[in-house]
Amino acid sequence: MKKHGRKMVLLLAIFFLFGIVAQASAFELGARGYLWFPDLKKSDIQTTVGGIQNSDINTKDMLGIGNKATYAAEVYGGVGKNHVSLMFTPFGYSDNTVLASPLTYNGVTYNTGTAIQSDLQYSMFDLKYQRDLINMENILAGFSVGGIAQIKYSTGSFTMKATGAGFDQKKSFNSVIPMIGIGAHIGLLANLLELRAQATVGGYSSNNYSYEALADLSVTPFPFVDINLGYKILQLKMDTDNFKMDTLYTGPYLALTVGF
């Protein structure tokens, strides 16, 4: 009888320890898809050839590039206080216009009245690591605040083609910017309604930096599924390989999250 009692106590102790470890090492895994409607507040591009700066091209006013919706895909995972995510966001703008004034791009001058086809295509990859500093997820509806370390990698190209003259200039670019920031999560109604906010900033010079901030409200209509409605601000400024670009986006987004 004593042997059975000892076995029962040992078994209960094992289950108790397992529960503590499982709670301390809470596991999460999921994916999130975004549909973003950014207002292109700023989009300036400039090249340097032979040490000479070419025209500072305002792509909105000079080339007619306007607003365009985009998407993003994110995968995330975490154990305990540690969370990692990777997000991919593509940007693509193409338009046709007739130049109202001359400009020089990549060492080539395009005269007034030239019919121009412009094309800006690039992709942004964001790798984030967040470490919870305050975690009260099991109190009331839940609350957590964490520090974020982020790497933003951007790669793409900008092309200007003189459709009537039959020549074009294309310049490719790559940019890597380290960032730090803070993220917060607030549960508003048990596991049904939540608020999430993040803000990061970083760079290594006045011509190479980025900042972004987002906040969204999520509703959980079904287990493991969240619908997010939010707003995002993003600025990216780079000066790399004789190519400068300065962009600023602001706008709302919708997102669908599937995870556990």
Q: What is the mean pLDDT of residues 15-33?
A: 63
Which tops the pLDDT comparison, 254 or 222?
254
Find, among 88, 109, 233, 228, the residue nearest to 160 by Cα.
109
- Given this model, what pLDDT does residue 1 score? 43
- Given this model, what pLDDT does residue 142 score? 73
| Count of CA atoms in the C-beta half-sphere (13 A) of 14 | 6
pTM of the model: 0.86
- Given this model, what pLDDT does residue 139 score? 54
| Count of CA atoms in the C-beta half-sphere (13 A) of 165 | 17
The model's pLDDT over 60-93, given as tens digits with 9 standing for 90+, comes to 989 988 899 999 999 999 998 899 999 999 999 9
- Report the share of the chain in percent with pLDDT over 90: 73
The Cα 235–Cα 140 span in angstroms is 36
- Given this model, what pLDDT does residue 138 score? 53
Of the listed ranges 55-64, 163-172, 191-200, the least confidently predicted one is 163-172
- Given this model, what pLDDT does residue 48 score? 96
- Asked whether residue 22 carries a pLDDT value surpassing 60, the answer given is no
- Given this model, what pLDDT does residue 136 score? 72
Residue 242 φ/ψ region, left for φ over 0, alpha for ψ in the -120 to 50 degree band, beta for the rest: left
The superfamily in CATH containing domain 28-259 is OMPT-like (2.40.128.90)
Token output for 153: 């990698």
The model's pLDDT over 114-157, given as tens digits with 9 standing for 90+, comes to 999 999 999 999 999 999 998 776 555 578 899 999 999 999 99
Which tops the pLDDT comparison, 101 or 190?
101
- Report the share of the chain in percent with pLDDT over 70: 87
